[in-house]
Structure 1
Amino acid sequence: MARPIVRGTAAWKYFGDFRDGLLAGQVLVLQVAHPVVAAGVRDHSDYKSDPWTRLMRTGASLSIYVYGGPAGARVEAERLRALHRTFTGSLDGRRYSALNPAAYAWVHATLVKVPVDAQQFFGRPLSDVELEEYYAQMCDVGRLLGVRERDLPPDWAAFERYYDDMVAGFAGNPAIEELFETIHTVPKPVRWLPGSWWRWHARTQMFLIRATLPPGLRDRLGLQWTLRDQRRFRRFTRVVRTLATPLPAGLRTAHMRWIGKLNVWLRAHPKVYERLVGGNGPGSAQGS
Structure 2
Amino acid sequence: MAPPVIRGTAAWRHFGDFRAMLLAGQVLVQQVAHPVVAAGVRDHSGYTEDPWTRLMRTGASLSIYVYGGAEGARFEAERLRELHRTFTGFSDGRRYSALDPGAYAWVHATLVMAPVEAQRLFGRPLSTSELDEYYAQMCDVGRLLGVRARDLPASWTEFEQYYREMLSSFGPNETVSTLFDTIRTTRKPWSRLPDARWAKIRKRHAQAQLFLIRATLPDPLRTRLGLAWTAADERRFTRFRRVVRWLALLVPPPLRTAHMRWIGKLNVWLRAHPRAYRFLP
TMscore range, shorter length: over 0.9
TM-score, normalising length: structure 2:
0.97
Q: Provide structure 2 residue ranges, at least 5 long, that are not aligned to the other structure.
A: none
Shift of 1:247: 2.4
1:7-26 counterparts in 2 under 5 A? 7-26=7-26
Q: Give the count of matched residue pairs.
A: 277
State the alpha-carbon separation in 1 of the partners of residues 202 and 166 from structure 2: 33
Q: Provide structure 1 residue ranges, at least 5 long, that are not aligned to the other structure.
A: 278-288
Q: Please say if 1:209 is aligned against 2:209.
A: no
Shift of 1:274: 3.1
Q: Deviations over 1:76-104 (max 9, x none)?
A: 00010011001000022111110000000
Q: Is the 8 A contact 2:184 2:202 kept in 1?
A: no
The runs of at least 4 consecutive aligned structure 1 residues that moved more than 6 Å come to: none
- Give 1:276's aligned residue: 280
Look up the SS of the partner of 2:280 in the other structure. Answer: helix
Q: Is the 8 A contact 1:90 1:96 kept in 2?
A: yes
State the alpha-carbon separation in 2 of the partners of residues 198 and 221 from structure 1: 23
- Give 2:88's aligned residue: 88
Q: Deviations over 1:155-185 (max 9, x none)?
A: 1000000000000000000000000000000
Residue identity in the other structure for 1:192: L
Further displaced range: 242-251 or 100-109: 242-251
- Give 1:227's aligned residue: 231
Q: Is the 8 A contact 2:50 2:187 kept in 1?
A: no
Q: Is the 8 A contact 2:185 2:202 kept in 1?
A: no
Further displaced range: 91-100 or 169-178: 91-100
State the alpha-carbon separation in 1 of the partners of residues 223 and 64 from structure 2: 35
- Give 2:134's aligned residue: 134
Q: Is the 8 A contact 1:64 1:264 kept in 2?
A: yes
TM-score, normalising length: structure 1:
0.94
Residue identity in the other structure for 1:30: Q
Residue identity in the other structure for 2:268: V
Shift of 1:12: 0.4
Q: Is the 8 A contact 1:44 1:87 kept in 2?
A: yes
Identity, % of aligned positions: 70
State the alpha-carbon separation in 1 of the partners of residues 133 and 101 from structure 2: 24
Residue identity in the other structure for 1:47: Y
